[in-house]
Amino acid sequence: MSNENSKELQEKILMSPKKKIHFVSKEELDRADEFCEPYKDFLNKSRTEREAVAEAVAMAKENGFVEYNPDVRYNPGDRVYIVNRDKAVGLAVIGKFGASQGVMLSIAHIDSPRIDLKPNPLYEKNSMALLKTHYYGGIKKYQWTTIPLALHGRVCKADGTYVDIAIGDEDNDPCFCITDILPHLGQEQAKKTLGEAFTGEDLNCLIGSRPYADEEGEQVRLNTMKLIYDKYGFTENDFLSAELTLVPAFKARDVGFDRSMIGSYGHDDRVCAYPALMAIIDSGVPEKTCITYLADKEETGSDGNTGMQSDFLRYFIYDLAKSEGLEGYRVLSKSKCLSADVNAAVDPTYESCFEPKNSSYINEGVVISKYTGARGKSSTSDASAEYMGEIRRMLESNKIIWQVGELGRVDLGGGGTIAKYVANMNVDVVDLGVPVLSMHAPFEIVSKLDVYMAYQAFLHFFIG
C-alpha cells in the first residue's frame, strides 16, 4: 500500500468527476442568459442562409464593418465584410500584424436541414392545392409532418427582377403543412420501418383548398396561384427559377422551468455562427487578422460555389495577403482555425447511442471534436495533439468550460463538418461547437451556458 493520500493523489492525476457547471458563478450564468436573448432574435430572423447573411451584414454595418474592396490596403483595426452570392459571408478585422503571421479563422455554416420546393412544385389533387418538395440535408421525415411550416426564399421572375418571400412566421400569417394519416388508418404505415414509412415523395405540402370558379379544371390550383400572383407578382413558370424552402413556423423559445435552454429551428449551425459573429464584432484590434466566415451548403456536403469547398474564402485571404505584399499560400500555411459546428449531446432517453466518456453533454461547455468521420475515422481532418494542446491552454487559461465529444459511439453512424476543407488548405483546425439535443429536428435544443462558452472560446481565440 502506498503512503500517499488517495484523495490527494486522485485530485492530482485523475479527471475531476464534478460537473463543470458547478465551476460557473451565478454572475457568469446571468451573462450567458443575457447573451442568448439577442441570439433568439437572430434565430427568428435567420430562417435561411440568405436571411442569415442579410442579418450578419446588418450587424456588421452597425458595428463599423464596411464592404471589402480588394484594391484597398487596410490598417490594423479596420473592419470589412465580404458576401458570396447572398448565401455566405466573411467578416474580417485587420490585426496589428495584418496577415503576416497568418490569420485566425472561425468558420460555421448557416444552412440548416429543411424542406425545399421542387422546381415545378404546384399541383391539385382531391380539390386541394399542394407543393411537391425535395428535402435538404439529413432529416427524420416524420418529424416534419403535421407541424406549421413557413415559406421562405427568392423567386426570380421572367423579367429579371426578383421577389423575396417570408410568410408563415407571424401570428397573423397563414402557415402551411405536410399532412399525415390518422392512426386509425395508419396500420399499414405502422408496420413499415421508420425509414420506409415516410418517403421523400410523401412530403407534399398543403397550401390551399378553395376553387377560383365553379368550372371544370384545376380551380383550386388556379385560385391559389392567383393569390400568389396578386401578393408577389409571380406566375407558375417563375417557380422554375426560384429557391423556395419550407421551415418550421415556430419561434425560438426558452425551455425548462429554469429557462436554461433554448428550443428552436436551425441551431445547427446558427448556434455557432452567432457566437462567432459576436466574437469578431467584439474582437477590438487583435494581434493577427481575424476572420469569421459563415458558409452555405454544409448540410449537403459543402459542394458548390457557396459551400466550404469553394475557393471563395481562399481567394479572400489571398487578396488580403496580396494587399500587404504577402503570398497567399504563406499566409494560409501560418493560419489557425476553429471549425465551429454542433455535436450530438447525450440524450438521457437514447443513452445507448453514446459512449459516455467521449460524448458531449449540455451545460458542460463547448465541445471539441478532435476528429469526426465514420467507419474508422474516414473522411476526417484529425487535429494534431499539438493543436489540441494549444486550444486547450487557450480555453483553460480563460476559464472557458469545455469537453470532448465524438458523434455517438464508434461505428453507429458518424458525420462530418467543414473542418477538413480548411485543413486541406494547410491550416491548423479543430472542431469546436455547441452540444445539441434533437439535432436536425424542427425544434432543436441547446443550453444557454454552452452558447455563451462558444462565444468566449471564439473571442479568446481571436484576441489571445
Select 51 or 341, whichever has its Cβ closest to Mn ion. 341
The residue from 268, 406, 444, 450 that contacts Mn ion (CB under 5 A) is: 268
- CA 98-104-110 angle, to 5 degrees, is 125
Give the shortest CB-313-to-Mn ion separation in angstroms: 17
Give the shortest CB-433-to-Mn ion separation in angstroms: 8
Interaction with Mn ion in 102-161: which residues (CB under 5 A)? Answer: none
Select 279 or 434, whichever has its Cβ closest to Mn ion. 434
Give the shortest CB-337-to-Mn ion separation in angstroms: 15
Answer yes or no: are the C-beta atoms of 22 and 443 closer than 8 Å: no
257 secondary structure, DSSP code: T
Range in contact with Mn ion (rule: CB under 5 A) among 157-165, 213-221, 242-250, 266-274: 266-274
Select 98 or 416, whichever has its Cβ closest to Mn ion. 416
Range in contact with Mn ion (rule: CB under 5 A) among 263-271, 332-340, 405-413, 419-427: 263-271
Q: Which of 400, 407, 417 is nearest to 453 (CA)?
A: 400
If one asks whether residue 49 binds Mn ion (CB under 5 A), the answer comes out as: no
- Lookup: cell for 166: 417570408
Answer yes or no: are the C-beta atoms of 290 and 277 closer than 8 Å: no
Interaction with Mn ion in 21-40: which residues (CB under 5 A)? Answer: none
- Lookup: cell for 396: 483553460
How far apart CA 233 and CA 262 sit, in angstroms, is: 37
Q: How many CA atoms lie within 13 A of 141 on its CB side?
A: 20
Q: How many residues bind Mn ion (CB under 5 A)?
A: 3
Give the shortest CB-417-to-Mn ion separation in angstroms: 6
The closest residue (CB) to Mn ion is 269
Give the shortest CB-340-to-Mn ion separation in angstroms: 9
Interaction with Mn ion in 313-372: which residues (CB under 5 A)? Answer: 341
Phi, psi for residue 172 in degrees, rounded to 5: -90, -5
The residue from 111, 269, 296, 450 that contacts Mn ion (CB under 5 A) is: 269
How far apart CA 48 and CA 17 sit, in angstroms, is: 40
Give the shortest CB-372-to-Mn ion separation in angstroms: 10
User: Which residue shows C-alpha cell 396578386?
Assistant: 230
Interaction with Mn ion in 280-299: which residues (CB under 5 A)? Answer: none
Select 169 or 341, whichever has its Cβ closest to Mn ion. 341
Give the shortest CB-285-to-Mn ion separation in angstroms: 31
397 secondary structure, DSSP code: H
Select 212 or 371, whichever has its Cβ closest to Mn ion. 371
Q: Which of 229, 66, 72 is nearest to 157 (CA)?
A: 229
How far apart CA 151 and CA 454 sit, in angstroms, is: 30
Give the shortest CB-100-to-Mn ion separation in angstroms: 32
Select 169 or 299, whichever has its Cβ closest to Mn ion. 299
Answer yes or no: are the C-beta atoms of 287 and 95 closer than 8 Å: yes
How far apart CA 332 and CA 299 sit, in angstroms, is: 25
- CA 430-435-438 angle, to 5 degrees, is 130
Site for Mn ion, rule CB under 5 A: 268-269, 341
